[in-house]
Amino acid sequence: MILTGNQIKKEIAKGNIVIDKFSKNSVQPNSYDFHLGRELIRYSNGVLNDAKNPALEDKVIIKDTGFMLKPEEFYLGITEEMTASKTYTQLLYGDNSIGSLGIWVQISAPMAHVGSKIRWTLEIKCVKPVIIYPGMKFGKICFLVNEGEIVPYGDETFLDSGRYLKNEITSSLINHKVVS
């Protein structure tokens, strides 16, 4: 089951969902709008093809006058909002207005495990050059009901035991544990 906007508000009141900063204007029929934070990571030298070693990265600050994304680059962005839930699984998508600009948000990994408390790192790619702005509405997050006993993300039961539970933009950590 997917939470309706009204239920998202109720679960926030009960403490089962945290959205910081929350605005009731961002509540949609079955999701919550998130906004684009100011920082971007761009991989330097275009080298991204060695999964076993960390890539070099540049940090870019998106100015109020905007920043042009280029199709040949791949970017990591971050949500303005921190979202958390120990009760529900979260899925993040771009919205229709962003997709219709030719922007992919989350090229591969839309799901946050139950127990996650994160500002989301956004996987961003564009089809044509496009100018984006800090704080713009960028997509939506929905919440799914789990069935079964919940062991939250970050528990040491799991292989990566919450290595992305950081409140900042984070590039791939795949080399540290999974590939060896």
Partner 1 sequence: MGSNYYAPFIYGRSSVGRLGLFVQITAPLGDIGFSGKWTLQLTPVRPVRVYPGMKIGQIFFLKPYGEINLYTGKYQNSNGPRKSEIYKDFRKLDK
User: Which of 18, 42, 43, 102: binder of partner 1 (CB under 8 A)?
Assistant: 102
- Asked if residue 29 binds partner 1 (CB under 8 A), the reply is yes
Q: Alpha-carbon distance 120 to 101, whole Å?
A: 21
CA distances in angstroms from 158 to 49, 151, 154, 155, listed in the order given: 27, 9, 7, 6
Among 25-33, 54-62, 154-162, 166-174, the segment contacting partner 1 (CB under 8 A):
25-33
Complex with partner 1: residue 14 or 52, whichever CB lies closer: 14
- Binding segment for partner 1 among 52-60, 88-96, 112-120, 169-177 (CB under 8 A)? 88-96
| Residue 23 binds partner 1 (CB under 8 A) | no
DSSP annotation string for 26-95: GEETTEEEEEB-SEEEEEGGG----TTSPPPEEEEEPPTT-EEE-TT--EEEEEEEEEEESSEEEEEEE-
* Smallest distance, partner 1 to C-beta of residue 150, A: 16
Which region, left, alpha or beta, applies to residue 102 given φ > 0 means left and ψ of -120 to 50 means alpha? left
Q: How far is the CB of 97 from partner 1 (least distance, A)?
A: 4
Q: Are 50 and 10 in contact (CB under 8 A)?
A: no
Q: Is 123 a catalytic residue?
A: yes
Judged by CB under 8 A, the stretch of 24-32, 38-46, 113-121, 156-164 that binds partner 1 is 24-32
Q: Is 120 helix (H, G, I), strand (E, B) or coil?
A: strand
Is residue 98 a contact residue for partner 1 (CB under 8 A)? yes
Q: Active-site positions? A: 123
Q: Which residues bind partner 1 (CB under 8 A)?
A: 1-8, 10, 28-31, 91, 93-106, 127, 133, 136-137, 139-140, 142, 144-145
